[in-house]
Amino acid sequence: MTGKDKCVILWSIHDQVATLAAEASPNAKPSSKVGGNSEKAAESPSIGPRGIYKGHVDTVEDVQFCPTSVQEFCSVGDDSCLILWDARVGSTPACKVEKAHNADLHCVDWSPHDINFILTGSADNTVHMFDRRKLSNDGVGSPVYKFEGHDAAVLCVQWCPDKSSVFGSAAEDGILNIWDHDKIGKMPDSVGLKVPNAPPGLFFRHAGHRDKVVDFNWNASDPWTIVSVSDDCGSTGGGGTLQIWRMIDLIYRPEEEVLAELDKYRSHIMGCNS
């Protein structure tokens, strides 16, 4: 849980289950009255947090667990910091990256494919990719990649479940960008995004929303399918938009496979014209 109190609070639903089980026991004592309403007290058991973690000096904006450990998590905040935590070693930061961006951090995501990679999105319009093996306990660390393809604050980042090097970023500019960090430094493919001076790593841009894209999610059951939502209050005077979409497969399939398919159709068309 994040908040304006500058703390990260760790809760467990198992604590509530244990509390309910204890209250249901035949030997359990009746719940004490709270504010004269014993029924409400019985229906709403109170549990405490597993831990309170202090290290940020401004509002905490987002938290993500390590995909392979319920004891490890990371957080970002308006203090421009990325903090890694390990509940097994205490409530102080395991590693704190000062000035992870040049502005507030809005979002973070931990790679489910390689637990060394962490993405952050910021009000400085960029996405940074960190390798936790290159971070140190004294707060020293710089991103292995910087992705610059938005004209406004980045609000959401998420790794693609279908390919380990791909992720998406959504921003206040109404754009949802799809990136592939494996493409950085390589020659452009014969297929894919053809945009003059396109930022390194960018291979698809979804521009179907009319206002800031506040959230999105990859469909883990339907490859390359995304649901995205935008807050259209500024452009329409109210309401919002939810879109479910998928880019054409010619964009993300292997280049050799795509060229072979296009060549097959070209041969078919040429045969029809002869």
> Contact at 8 Å (CB) between 247 and 224?
yes
Residue 115, token pair as written in the block: 């637990």
- Cα 97 off chain centre by: 18
* Same domain (yes/no): 46, 178: no
* 9-13, 123-127, 185-189 — most confident range: 123-127
* Same domain (yes/no): 92, 155: yes
Give the pLDDT score at 235: 63
* Same domain (yes/no): 28, 160: no
* Same domain (yes/no): 252, 138: yes
Average pLDDT score, the chain = 86
pLDDT digits (tens, 9 = 90+) for 124-181: 999 999 999 999 776 777 899 999 999 999 999 999 999 999 999 999 999 999 999 9
Q: Is the dihedral of CA 15, 16, 21, 24 positive or negative?
A: positive
* Same domain (yes/no): 130, 262: yes
Domain count, the chain: 2
Q: What is the CATH number of the domain that holds 62?
A: 2.130.10.10
Give Cβ neighbours of residue 199 (< 8 Å, ≥ 6 apart): 147, 148, 149
Helices (H) and strands (E) in the chain, counts: 5, 17
* Same domain (yes/no): 25, 6: yes
Residue 38, token pair as written in the block: 């014993």
* Same domain (yes/no): 111, 137: yes
Q: Which domain holds residue 200?
A: 55-273
* Same domain (yes/no): 220, 255: yes
126-137 in b/e form (b: 16+ CB < 10 A) is bbbbbebeebee
pLDDT digits (tens, 9 = 90+) for 100-139: 999 999 999 999 999 999 999 999 999 999 999 999 776 7
* Same domain (yes/no): 44, 61: no
Identify the band that residue 254 occupies on the pLDDT scale cut at 50, 70 and 90: confident
* Same domain (yes/no): 124, 158: yes
